[in-house]
Amino acid sequence: MDVDCVSLPDAPAGDVDGGAARPWPKAVTNGGVHELLECPVCTNSMFPPIHQCPNGHTLCSTCKARVHNRCPTCRQELGDIRCLALEKVAESLELPCRYYSLGCPEIMPYYSKIKHEAQCGLRPYNCPYAGSECGAAGDIPSLVSHLRDDHKVDMHSGCTFNHRYVKSNPREVENATWMLTVFHCFGHYFCLHFEAFQLGMAPVYMAFLRFMGDENEAKNYSYSLEVGANGRKMVWEGTPRSVRDSHRKVRDSHDGLIIQRNMALFFSGGDRKELKLRITGRIWKEQQTPDGACTPNLCS
């Protein structure tokens, strides 16, 4: 299943699955006034400062820097003329969330849109696969199919895992492959990442879990990771981060099990020239008992 990057302009668009567009409420169309606030270059809504050329053509401040001070409509020099009248009109508008076609019912003042849309629970999720520049976005079921069919990611059911990571030359961190495995338990999907990267001057290996859903729901779950051999082991326990947080953000925050190369080679045994790590772990959901205490709920 191909999942294209979802482009959602402020004007109403068709449903993600290709169905009919969900029309804007008549109460907020304001006779098409909102169309006057659409930048002719990027087609996004314009927010102050709104610029205009001597002939009255408008564009947003971001695009003004891109067009080298030339009006994209009439090619006149733009100068620094503000369209104060249009900025005033914007203050009186109430518009739907840009994700209205995806089901968001919110209608808000024009200047509240950006803040709401940055946090809207119905905004699409980005593909969690970090091994390539993938621009796919969509809801969770679509992304799960995308990961399975397009990225050939391993899919597992159950809340425990046991994975091996083998690399013939552990010193080649820059060219190290990384793994992504998707687990389905408690009716949700989780992404297990395992990869190598350079931390300062030293190569390290890191494993961490991400929840395929929003931040608030991710907090209901916990997970553990364990790696070891030769009578030694390292254990990590934490809360999975939401896929709303980018892969790089989670990695750079070091929020997971980090194994230094020397320790990883010790766990690998042998002549220390080949990396052989076994990562085991489990996912559980914290359940609150009638007396207010929390107990782990393990899936079978």
Q: What is the pLDDT of residue 171?
A: 60
Q: What is the pLDDT of residue 6?
A: 36
Q: What is the pLDDT along the chain (300 residues), one digit of tens a residue?
A: 333 333 344 444 444 444 444 555 544 444 466 678 888 899 888 888 899 999 999 999 889 888 888 898 999 988 889 999 888 888 888 888 888 888 888 888 888 888 888 888 888 999 998 766 788 998 999 999 999 999 999 999 999 998 888 776 656 555 455 678 999 999 999 999 988 887 777 788 899 999 999 999 999 999 999 998 888 899 999 999 999 998 889 988 999 999 988 888 888 876 666 778 889 999 999 765 555 444 566 654
Class of domain 32-119: alpha beta
Q: What is the pLDDT of residue 276?
A: 82
Domain boundaries along the sequence of the chain:
32-119, 125-285
Q: What is the pLDDT of residue 197?
A: 81
What is the third-level CATH fold of 125-285?
A: 2.60.210
Residues with Cβ within 8 Å of residue 226, at least 6 apart in sequence? 233, 234, 235, 236, 279, 280, 281
Q: What is the pLDDT of residue 225?
A: 96
Q: What is the pLDDT of residue 27?
A: 43
